[in-house]
Amino acid sequence: MTPRTKAWLAVLLVWLFGFCPAVRAQQQGEAKLGYQITALPYTISSPGVYVLNQDFLNLNLTGATAAIKINASDVVLDLNGHTISNTAAGAGTLAYGVYAADRTNVTVRNGTVQGFMTGVGIITTGASTASYGHLIEKMNVNACTYEGISLVGNDSTVRSCQVGNVGGSTTLGDLASAYGIELEGTGLRCLDNDVSQAAASVPVDMSFAIYFSSSSDAFVVDNCVFAFGYGLYFSSDSVGQYRHNLATGMLMQGYVGGTDAGKNIVDSNGDGVDDDWEVKYFGTASVDLMAAAPGCGGITNLEAYHLGLNPNDFYNGQTPALSIVDGDGQTGGFGGFLPSALTVQVLVAGQPAANAPVSFTVTQNGGQVQATMSSAPSTTVKVKTNISGVARTFFILPESLEATCKVVATTGTGNNQQTITFTETVGDENATVHTTACSVSNVISTLNSDGSELLTWNNNTDDPVPLWNTAPGGGWTLITTLPAGTTSYLFPRP
């Protein structure tokens, strides 16, 4: 290497490490390069890369000062994975962990700051145009009594930081709010941060996880905020968009101001599910997430949420095809089961829909349905299809002679709901009344505990009333003829 080449290299190194903000990204991971910070408090007075080379766990800074004060622009401060702790100063501290005012192109990254009034503060004492190009990243800021991170400036970013347990200052009086991340300026980005827990002493309407004031062209993406009064708050003079954020455990509101660009979640009760989803499908944010989703064939409500399904719609917007396989148009004895089960098949896009929910409901002239021959009877039963998309129920005819009964099978919800109707007839092979329509109507059979059967009816004529029984091999046999005006008859049931 020639002397001239060495000279050019020396100039290049000075430029790289002393003045060029563009190489900050290249310096990530090169924590051992740069000016070493071996004692605190420390003041940075010239551009360059500065590296913390140890933990500082026993600071006790109470006044309006800073552990590290940046009095220059074009600075990279790398905490190198170390911790600066000022918890010994207590809730009355006025100190900053890292402080810079009216600077440009300042980066603070890769470490923990705790126990200060403000953990990291890059601000301006005048117009925000005097402060721009900043980056705060990969910082863990906690137990700060007023602000975790405060960034005032244009075209700046806070990303991949964790901020927790903010608020509780005993010296700020009425100003003692809590701000996880507070930002002000134009072209700000707040990305992939985790902000949690305002101090219990802070009024809920004065605690903000992420707060924008006097800002424009702001973007807020992929942040998770927990347990503040407000999650993401844009003041009335701020403009920005937010997308794909999660606000959980908010005591006031998840999002205020700004423009919702989609996929933002509010989870007020901390159950991990978007309140909007719960209210949309259940009418409340208090949902038993481990319960079976009503329309999803056995999966839980929580699983339906993560799969992007409507928990009340097994078909998730698709329209099923419902058809009768067997059991329609039967005749049976009153009070007994029909010979064949009422059977349907469900198809989706031409394929059998296994585990699909189907309900059978009695809609005309009584009777009951059962999921199995031994289950409890009801006017409505819900069953699921088998692997062939087939579902069935067993129908018990009513205690009414010559009644025509209807049972409706239903699957799907809303506009995709499909129904089909079974029509069944009572024609008991045991004792029955057979008359003409002009003679009697509304015949009702009641079985008594002693085995007798009471028949009642409305008499529509002055003619005698014939009583018939089914004859062996078919047809009818006359039992007796009752006097005109008779409306009941009692006889033992064979």
Can you give 76-135 as a three-state secondary structure string? EEECCCCEEECHHHCCCCCCEEEEEECCECEEEEEEEEECCCEEEEEECCCCHHHCECCE
Six-digit token string for 181: 């991340």
3-state secondary structure of 180: strand
Q: Which DSSP helix (H) or strand (E) runs through 281?
A: helix 275-282
- 28-60 core/surface letters (b: 16 or more CB in 10 A; e: else): eeebeebbebeebebebeebbbbbbeeebeebe
Torsions phi, psi for 276 (to 5 deg): -60, -40
Angstrom CA distances, 100 to 123, 202, 217, 381, stand at 6, 27, 23, 70
Angstrom CA distances, 214 to 218, 267, 306, stand at 10, 27, 37
Which amino acid, 245?
N
Angle, CA of 459, 464 and 470, to the nearest 5°: 90
CA 410 distance to own-chain centroid:
28
Six-digit token string for 429: 């092979």
Six-digit token string for 30: 């090169």
Distance CA 289, CA 292 (A): 8
Distance CA 360, CA 420 (A): 10
Q: What is the DSSP string of 313-341?
A: -TTTTPPPEEEEEE-TT-EE-TTSB-SS-
pTM beyond cutoff 0.85:
no
Distance CA 292, CA 312 (A): 10
Task: Determine contact, residues 243/264, Cβ cutoff 8 Å.
Answer: yes
Residues forming a β-bridge with 390:
345
pLDDT tens by residue, the chain, 494 residues: 333 333 333 333 233 333 333 333 334 344 458 999 999 999 999 999 999 999 999 999 999 999 999 999 999 999 999 999 999 999 999 999 999 999 999 999 999 999 999 999 999 987 656 899 999 999 999 999 999 999 999 999 999 999 999 999 999 876 689 999 999 999 999 999 999 999 999 999 999 999 999 999 999 999 999 999 999 999 999 999 999 999 988 889 999 999 999 988 888 887 888 888 888 888 888 899 999 888 776 788 898 888 888 888 888 888 999 999 999 998 887 777 888 899 999 999 999 998 888 999 999 988 999 988 778 899 999 998 999 999 999 998 887 766 899 999 999 888 889 999 999 988 744 444 444 333 456 667 676 666 567 777 776 666 677 766 654 444 455 667 777 778 887 766 54
Which of 148, 131, 126 is closest to 139 using CA atoms?
Answer: 148
Task: Determine contact, residues 132/108, Cβ cutoff 8 Å.
Answer: no
Burial class of 13 by CB neighbour count within 10 A (0 to 12, 13 to 18, 19+): exposed
Six-digit token string for 260: 């919702």
Q: Please name the residues in contact with 449: beta carbons below 8 A apart, sequence gap of 6 or more.
A: none
Strands 342-348, 321-326: pairing kind: antiparallel
CB atoms within 10 A of CB 249: 19
pLDDT for 304: 86
Which amino acid, 232?
L
Placement of tokens 């129920």 in the chain: 393
Placement of tokens 């039992």 in the chain: 479
Give the chain's end-to-end CA distance (angstroms, integer): 120
Six-digit token string for 326: 């067997």
Order of all β-strands in the sheet with 404-411? 331-332, 418-426, 404-411, 357-364, 380-384
Distance CA 309, CA 294 (A): 12
Q: What is the DSSP string of 138-158?
A: EEEEES-SSEEEEEESBS-EE
Burial class of 441 by CB neighbour count within 10 A (0 to 12, 13 to 18, 19+): exposed
Torsions phi, psi for 128 (to 5 deg): -65, -15
Six-digit token string for 379: 């006017």
